[in-house]
Amino acid sequence: MADHFNKYHLKHFAGIIADCMEIPLPGEYAPGVKWVSKILKDRLGGKAERAILYHADAVGMHMWQKYTDLFAPVHKHTSLALPFCSTLEPVTPVAHASMYTGLTPEEHGIKTYVRPRLLCSTLYDEMIKAGLRTVIVAQEDSSFLHLFSGRDIKSYECVTSFDTVSTALKVIEEDDYDLLSIHVFDYDTAAHNCGPEAKESKNAIAFEAEGFDKIVTAAKKYGNGRNALISYSPDHGQHLVEPGKGDHLFEIPEDMNIVHFFGTI
Ligand SMILES: [Zn+2]
């Protein structure tokens, strides 16, 4: 793979979501990507009334390039793919902190695998300020449950990714959310244990993509006439360390380059 990196830093993610929902963000946040928000808002026919953000952990762009067919359930519901460059270090708490604060690791202070409660403004805080209902549905011990704790967010901790998807489906059916973040990491676990391109790992990507399909299908069914922005948004990639073992820590394309897929309902 050519040794180059995607243009947009993950810190622009919060701005894209906020711009689509017309939620003002504090000045320290990195701006969204104007042309992206414009395309999405044109498709929405105005601002997004809510957002469903699905975070499949550690799915690197190279997996999409090599095994594109596994992502068919994601492509089915999305219309805009945006390549992002992950954070340094490319690990979950650093990346998710940047995605939900609009800040670089130096600015939000999480530069390695530590998971303190973030004290700075997060996208959740700004949504809550705007009177919106925020919900996190995540697998057990997810970084989301640490970084964004202590806020008025309805949080569900689920044992498996299967439970995570089932719980998200319940939240959608009960129509009790405006910003819904979902974090699954079966692929990350399988790729660490077996290698990023092992059969188990590819199965996990397929399973997580099917989870996305179920969630978006439910959101369409139980939308109650409200539109929504949806995204499939990994945090970083993963590379082969030795046969049967994967990891992510370095400034290399496999760890840094990811693609987010946006869609509208
Ligand atoms: Zn990992």
Q: What are the pLDDT digits (tens) for 77-86?
A: 999 999 999 9
Q: Is residue 53 part of a domain?
A: yes
Residue 1 lies in a domain: no
Domain annotation covers residue 2: no
Q: What is the percentage of the chain residues whose pLDDT exceeds 90?
A: 97
Q: What is the CATH number of the domain that holds 139?
A: 3.40.720.10
Q: How far is the CA of 166 from the centre of ligand 1 (A)?
A: 23
Distance CA 211, CA 207 (A): 6
For 194, the domain range is 8-264
Q: Whole-angstrom Cα distance, residue 72 to residue 49?
A: 26
Indicate the number of domains in the chain: 1
Q: What angle is formed at CA 45 by the lines to CA 42 and CA 51, rounded to 5 degrees?
A: 90
Ligand 1 mean position, distance from CA 74 (Å): 21
Distances (CA, A) of 216 to 92, 103, 159, 219: 24, 28, 21, 5
Residue 3 lies in a domain: no
What are the beta bridge partners of residue 8?
84
**Residue 1: pLDDT over 60:** no
Identify any residues that bridge with 56 across adjacent strands, giving them in sequence order.
184
90 Cβ contact partners less than 8 Å away, ≥ 6 residues apart:
235, 236, 237, 248, 249, 250, 251, 255, 256
Question: Would residue 194 count as lying in a domain?
Answer: yes
| pLDDT tens-digit series, residues 208-241 | 999 999 999 999 999 999 999 999 999 999 999 9
**pLDDT score of 3:** 75
50 located within any domain: yes
**Residue 245 CA to ligand 1 centre (angstroms):** 11
Tell me the CA–centroid distance for residue 247 and ligand 1, in Å: 6
Task: Tell me the CA–centroid distance for residue 4 and ligand 1, in Å.
Answer: 22
Residue 45 C-alpha to ligand 1 middle, in angstroms?
A: 38
Q: Which helix (H) or strand (E) holds 164?
A: helix 161-174
User: What is the average pLDDT across 136-145?
Assistant: 95
- Ligand 1 geometric centre to CA of 248 (Å): 6
- The answer to whether the CB of 237 falls within 8 A of the CB of 58 is yes
Start-to-end Cα distance in the chain? 35
227 within a domain of the structure (yes/no):
yes
